[in-house]
Amino acid sequence: MKVRGVFLVAIFFYLAYTQLVNGQPCQTSCGNVTIEYPFGTSPGCYYADDPSFHLICNDNKTLLFDNNMEVINISHSGELHVMNNISYACYSNQRILSDYHYSTYTLRNLSLSGKNTFTLVGCNAFAYLSIFGRQNYSTGCMSACDAPPAANGDCNGAGCCRTDLSVPLDSYSFRTGPSRLENTISVSDFNPCTYAFVSKIDFFHFNASEDLKNLRNVTEFPLVLDWSIGNQTCDQIGNASICGMKNNTCFDSNRGTGYNCKCLEGFEGNPYLSNEYGCQDINECTTNSTIHKHNCSDPSTCRNTVGGFYCKCQSGYRLDTTTMSCKRRDFGWATILLGTTIGFLSFLLVFSCVQQNMKHRKDSELRQKFFVQNGGGLLIQRLSGGGTSNANLKIFTEEDMKTATNGYEESRILGQGGQGTVYKGILPDNSVVAIKKSRLGDSSQVEQFINEVLVLSQINHRNVVKLLGCCLETEVPLLVYEFINRGTLFDHLHGSLFGPFLTWEHRLRIAVEIAGTLAYLHSSASIPIIHRDVKTANILLDENLTAKVADFGASRLIPMDKEQLTTMVQGTLGYLDPEYYNTGLLNEKSDVYSFGVVLMELLSGQKALCFERPHQSKHLVSYFASAIKENRLYEVIDGKMLTEDNQREIKEVARIAIECTKLMGEERPKMKEVAAELEGLRVTKAKHKWSDQYPEETEHLVGVQIMSAQGDKSTTGYDSINNIARLHIEAGR
């Protein structure tokens, strides 16, 4: 739209300049003075009908500005050259003023240029110049002499004085006037008149013998006025200026207000027009102008370009920029050295490209080797097989992982543990993920690892951190998980993260969520999964403090026909099942024990293993068991969350924790039972809270239940996927 606006402005000014006025085209000259736009003599022929640009061509073919100044030249650069009448004062022998003329001019929207000078011619006299505007300005000079000066050409104060002008930018009128000093000797015989005038710098040269008598009968001198378009700068008017034509540009006026146009370097013409009279390319190769002439020593080598030229030498010759002449090329030692250098650099470039290509190929082969070594082929085979539901599992490249972690930058590390290092990554779609660099290095476990990746990618449980994909092109596999942003349960319980305090309601809900998740993994997953490293550091919390079970690097799949596996012992001290530690037999009760320790941490707010506690109580299980045995349970409970309303629930959860951490696995409950008990506590708490707030409604509900019970007992089940308890109300209470 801006380009279209500039084009329409150009057409407008072209038509304004070429239209007919009273049946005649715009006048382009008056006498020997050329009239060019934005100036004109008829309405519609000058810029926007601004009176400042209206000139008058009288019957004598004299071009006038404001009907009182003769215009002798119009410059595109913002100058108007006019003839200015002189001021004078003539005296008789008795020093009586016999004739005088003081010049006063109103410049309308033009300004007196600083390229003028103010001159006084006369003896024992002074002259003044007053310039009027928003800031008035006055200047002048004085001349003294007893006899006719002998010096010519210099206005040094003897018979002639001169002062340069520092004109205010907002001047709009000026006045000149000379006067004879009082009480001076008579000089009327050789200087009857005193003259004052403004003229172009270096135009007037003083001649004492001729100028003191009658100023050589000259009545006017040329002076320079400044003109401009409008009252805005180039930046202020932008594309609306009339300089938006082809091959011209805008510049701020010397007047301090408005702007002017000029042709670009290598172009000439009227910069205020867009037609054939506007800025056109100068053919430096043919022009006779001394300003724009080419500098090629041989004219036949000159080649014109738009806005410039160049000198073209024939084959076998070179251009000497000092003399701008063509000289035969020298194929001496310099050329040989140049050729050798180019050849050597070319060899280095080819060698570098070959080396880079070999390195790229080697890296590609190494990535392929790692991909196969880490089970990539097996994973692709399983993904492409029928019946798979791993459509959302993505296989990332090594380059994807480097970009996401900014080259595995240390500042991106979220945590380090026995199962590997976790980095914060940003994928190309700006989604934030957690990238785990495993410590897997046993090739015999590849198939089991791939099976686990496939199974974990199918787990769609709200309390399990979602596995998004993996990268197998590195020496050790990388697993990509969804990013959980509120840290771990360990951080919240033990003060390493400044977050909201976990109330008892928070802790009970988190315990229910963890228990439900483990019950789902043990009983409801397509292949039972034992986490094997349940601890508060592997429980993440999101922005709603919802628990997310993470870090399945130590997990094991339990075949449907087996209840336990013999494995190398793996886990975290403080949470590790002692039976599993002693026998190496892994079953779901190992996770139950670890969960019991997590329950104790939630209750006490203390770490699972603390060497600051007494010798027999360094392990939280021992510390907790002895407190219950000695009937001082509330000494180990986190006092900040303990209230009168939750003591019963806390005692029940403590009992469940003790049951989960029994020494023999067969004495521990299953996770499904633990989840049901904890959810039952939570539901009971909610019902009691409802009873306290709405006793009438509760009484009515209980009455309805009793009427429909008919003596049957209620049964309770547990839905581990939806994380809720199933209450069969129709069976009664």
Where in the sequence numbering do the catalytic residues fall? 533
d(CA 102, CA 330): 74
- Which two tokens mark 10? 């150009």
Q: How far is CA 709 from CA 701, 703, 713, 729, 732, in A?
A: 12, 10, 8, 8, 4
DSSP 418-470: TTEEEEEEE-TTS-EEEEEEE----GGGHHHHHHHHHHHHH---TTBPPEEEE
Question: Is the alpha carbon torsion for 146, 148, 151, 156 positive or negative?
Answer: positive
CB 88 within 8 A of CB 193: yes
d(CA 549, CA 439): 20
CB 576 within 8 A of CB 594: yes
Within a 10 A sphere around the Cβ of 488, how many other Cβ atoms? 23
Is residue 38 reached through a cis peptide bond, with omega within 30 degrees of 0 on the bond before it? yes
Counting Cα atoms < 13 Å in the Cβ hemisphere of 55 gives 30
What residues pair up with 187 in beta bridges, in sequence order?
Answer: none
Question: Is the alpha carbon torsion for 5, 10, 11, 12 positive or negative?
Answer: positive
User: Measured between alpha carbons, how far apart are the two ends of the chain, in Å?
Assistant: 79
∠ CA 288-292-295, nearest 5°, is 90
Within 284-403, strands assigned E span 302-305, 308-311, 317-320, 325-328, 394-396
Q: What is the chain's alpha carbon radius of gyration, rounded to the nearest angstrom?
A: 51
- Which two tokens mark 703? 């009455």
d(CA 553, CA 379): 17
